[in-house]
Structure 1
Amino acid sequence: MRARVRRQAGPRIAIVGGGIGGMAAAAFLHRAGLAVTVHEQAAALTEVGAGLVLAPNAIRPLRALGVVDSALRRAVPLDWGWEFRRWQDGTVLSAERLDGVCERLYGERTYTAHRAHLLDALRSAVPDEAVRLGARCTAVEPHADGVRLTFADGSRTDADLVIGADGMHSLVRATVAAPERPRFSGLCAFRTVVPADAAPTFALRRAQTLWLGPGHHLVHYPISGGAGVNVAAFAPSTDETQESWSATATVEEFHAEFADWDDRVTSLIKSGAVPGRWALYDRPPLPSWTLGRMTLLGDAAHPMFPFYGQGAAQALEDAAVLARCLTAAPDTPDLALARYEAERIPRTTRLQQVSHARAEANHLADGPEQRARDAALGDADPLLRSGWIYGYDASATPG
């Protein structure tokens, strides 16, 4: 069911980018009765990639929007999460029980889902007339009365506020913050979806499993109601040219990176279709992501390595907090944006930092440091240790 048009008041808000973060922001702002338009460069709304994890801190914003049932219709509730295994023989280094425990600790379950299903659910909360497709923004120009956006087709629009939700290579970010190139991580990512009827039985378990090995790691979990298994793997690379999610490799290239791993891993890789492959980039945390009547959200503000599974969750949190701040101060949007930034930057900066650090920890060569890491994984309860992530409620005003 498509969202109804609500009475619109306050500032005219333009969102650049119609991915998960941009559409979530539009949904929250529309729900608050604010005038918002999403400008998306693609001719149709699609989500690249495949699987994602929806932890409790991602479920809360979806529930607040009233789209949680739609978003989870084909999601998979996890019984086990952060199940770490040794690359060579599958020895379990650590595993957290989620079923029942996650709800008791944080009030919500943890799920895995297809990115496209989440985007569809968010889109259903935004009226058709609030989404402009085929609108590639080419210039962002602040002026005395607001911000002017120029598009590739020569059209222009003026807004009182602009939200940059246009990803890692954000045009709005280049206007808000000092220009800088993303940093190549020295890693590449492979991604594929294995149909359930072709996947090894082991991979169909309702678990998020991470295999750790020298210089590499691989993650798999079921998605789409169990119809497929999402596989994402990370390996060293010197190739900085392939950063598009539409770039591909071959199954043979993917397998070659993990050829001497446990047979369960190699069997899973061989069962997949043509994998995507792209170079992994990141950016250092920003000390500020707001300038005048412009601000950033999601990957445009705080791109992070996917090693904590928090990219989509942080975009959802951003959207909820931004809408809360603007609703509380619609007549003073500059103050609202400052409050949004002040509330969000400490948390997203910390997540950027721990996600970056995990790349090194996951890829330790076999030896003393690796054994110490494995022992630490076994001694700690990751579900309790991550309470600062999962217990966060974006709808609650800080005390």
Structure 2
Amino acid sequence: MKALIAGGGIGGLASAIALRLRGWDVTVFEQAPALSEIGAGLQISPNGWRVLAALGVAEHLHGIVFEPEAIEMRIGRNGARVFHLSMRGYAQERWGAPFMHVHRADLVTALERRLEGLQSGVVKTGHVVQGFKQSGDGATLLMNDGTAQSGDIVIGADGLHSVIRTQMLGPDMPRYTGNIAWRAVVPVDALGARTPPPTACVWVGHKRHAVTTRLRAGTLANFVGMVETDKPAPESWRATGSRADALAAFEGWANEIRTVIDQAEVLHRWALFDRAPLPRWHEGRVALLGDAAHPMLPSMAQGAVQALEDAWVLAASLDQHATPDAGFAAYYEQRIERTARVQKGSAANARLFHHASPLGRWGFYAPMGIAARLAPGAFHARQDWVYGFDATKDV
């Protein structure tokens, strides 16, 4: 059986590995001339790390990931700590796998190496997918140069602006959330004493928040800042903005945040749009995966992780059913409730971090800090449904 995968990102490569491990012949078609990712950090929570381990990818990441000391929350303007909860070692103990930070480019490289070790020449770059067609016994990817590639199934892992999803379900109807996001990666050596802490840290404030993490064994500081505005930017992962605008957005904030912005070589800026869960993810022998199936806001740091879960469940479902249509239907039924809940939780978190008035902030965050100190286990328990899930066993 031959699988054609549109998209050479995290979800596309992971699904190719998962299918190859089950005996499929796989080919990945990526529109970029080479597999490369712009600078960005990812948080791989235990539910995602379990999938990477099962795929045989985790071993390719040793030495380049970073395990944060804790998760914490700070007040954006003065850096005052709201809570600090241990994570290094604790995640393994509680959820059975570590909580890791990784550079997106490093994860893509690790996935590609693992896939090439299973089947060489799998990834075909410079192939722009235009659409698909299918029959009772096969499916075909159509390229914009007029060529076509035929196989048994097609997987649309072609991201936020998926052409496979558009053909299958029509144009999507995104809703602007009223937020734009800033992103930067800066060497720790350039930050000195103003380096953000070696944690997964949320900085909260008036109609904005930021998240700082560490990458590449702690040598890089990663920054994502979300700001409410009625003037949206393009919905593009690669769009950039000016340093002056980013500094203005976080004017008066803690030195750790402003120094990262000031020292960033490139500042990416994009608008955040929300999308409702889709009524289906497949049509016959064609299925969607990752951002193509369930785009989500970054406020739970689950976008890449949910794509990894998708990859495992999709492959396992195909393995358990007699026809692709039945396998894809089972995949959707097993995934839709969970991914919709994560989508909803991500949108809720963005609102949670943006209390407008000082009274509102302290009225909410002070009790949160007290609860975290008095009952850290109960605080962590709120993430059990996310981090404790094991896609490699719960299919």
Q: TM-score range by the shorter chain?
A: over 0.9
Match of 2:252 in 1: 260
Retained in 2: the 8 A contact 1:203–1:221? no
Q: 1:195 aligns with which of 187, 193, 202?
A: 187
Deviation at 1:173, TM superposition (A): 0.9
Match of 2:351 in 1: 360
What are the Cα deviations for residues 164-210 of structure 1, in whole angstroms up to 9, with x where unaligned? 10111111111232432322222111111111111243535320111
Retained in 1: the 8 A contact 2:41–2:102? yes
Deviation at 1:337, TM superposition (A): 0.9
Range with bigger deviation, 201-210 or 242-251: 201-210
Secondary structure at the counterpart of residue 252 of structure 2: coil
Secondary structure at the counterpart of residue 114 of structure 2: coil
Match of 2:131 in 1: 139
**Amino acid of the structure 2 residue aligned with 1:385:** R
CA–CA distance in structure 1, aligned partners of residues 89 and 184 of structure 2: 30
CA–CA distance in structure 1, aligned partners of residues 193 and 39 of structure 2: 23
Q: 1:332 aligns with which of 323, 328, 350?
A: 323
Retained in 1: the 8 A contact 2:6–2:155? yes
What are the Cα deviations for residues 38-95 of structure 1, in whole angstroms up to 9, with x where unaligned? 11111100123410111111110111111212124301111112x1111222221122
Secondary structure at the counterpart of residue 343 of structure 1: helix
Match of 2:288 in 1: 296
Match of 2:63 in 1: 73
Retained in 2: the 8 A contact 1:49–1:245? no
User: % of aligned pairs identical?
Assistant: 38
CA–CA distance in structure 2, aligned partners of residues 178 and 153 of structure 1: 23
Range with bigger deviation, 91-100 or 388-397: 91-100
Deviation at 1:264, TM superposition (A): 3.0
Match of 1:63 in 2: 53
CA–CA distance in structure 2, aligned partners of residues 356 and 204 of structure 1: 25
Retained in 1: the 8 A contact 2:41–2:101? yes
**Amino acid of the structure 2 residue aligned with 1:294:** V
Q: Which aligned pairs between 1:266-305 and structure 2 lie closer than 5 A? A: 266-305=258-297
Does residue 385 (structure 1) correspond to residue 393 (structure 2)? The answer is no
Retained in 2: the 8 A contact 1:237–1:279? no
Deviation at 1:266, TM superposition (A): 1.9
CA–CA distance in structure 2, aligned partners of residues 70 and 233 of structure 1: 30
Match of 2:113 in 1: 124
CA–CA distance in structure 1, aligned partners of residues 121 and 255 of structure 2: 51
**Amino acid of the structure 2 residue aligned with 1:263:** N
Retained in 2: the 8 A contact 1:38–1:132? yes
Match of 2:203 in 1: 211
CA–CA distance in structure 1, aligned partners of residues 364 and 354 of structure 2: 11
CA–CA distance in structure 1, aligned partners of residues 95 and 26 of structure 2: 32
Q: 1:351 aligns with which of 342, 346, 351?
A: 342
Kindly tell me: are residues 63 and 107 of structure 1, through their superposed partners in 2, closer, same or farther at Cα, counting changes over 3 Å? Answer: same
Kindly tell me: are residues 58 and 213 of structure 1, through their superposed partners in 2, closer, same or farther at Cα, counting changes over 3 Å? Answer: same
CA–CA distance in structure 2, aligned partners of residues 104 and 364 of structure 1: 33
Could you tell me the TM-score, scaled by structure 1's length?
A: 0.92
Does residue 13 (structure 1) correspond to residue 3 (structure 2)? The answer is yes
What are the Cα deviations for residues 280-301 of structure 1, in whole angstroms up to 9, with x where unaligned? 2231111321221111110001
What are the Cα deviations for residues 244-269 of structure 1, in whole angstroms up to 9, with x where unaligned? 22221122211111111123322332
Retained in 2: the 8 A contact 1:72–1:113? no
What are the Cα deviations for residues 133-183 of structure 1, in whole angstroms up to 9, with x where unaligned? 111111222333332221011101222211110111111111232432322
RMSD over aligned Cα atoms: 1.7
CA–CA distance in structure 1, aligned partners of residues 160 and 360 of structure 2: 33
Match of 1:107 in 2: 96
Deviation at 1:100, TM superposition (A): 2.5
Secondary structure at the counterpart of residue 121 of structure 2: helix
User: Which of structure 1's runs of 4+ aligned residues deviate more than 4 A?
Assistant: none
Match of 1:8 in 2: none
Range with bigger deviation, 193-202 or 155-164: 193-202
Match of 1:161 in 2: 153
CA–CA distance in structure 1, aligned partners of residues 279 and 357 of structure 2: 37
| Residue ranges of structure 2 left out of the alignment (5+ in a row) | none
Deviation at 1:332, TM superposition (A): 1.8
Match of 1:180 in 2: 172
Retained in 1: the 8 A contact 2:179–2:232? no
| Residue ranges of structure 1 left out of the alignment (5+ in a row) | 1-10
Q: 1:88 aligns with which of 65, 77, 82?
A: 77
Kindly tell me: are residues 255 and 149 of structure 1, through their superposed partners in 2, closer, same or farther at Cα, counting changes over 3 Å? Answer: same
Deviation at 1:367, TM superposition (A): 4.3
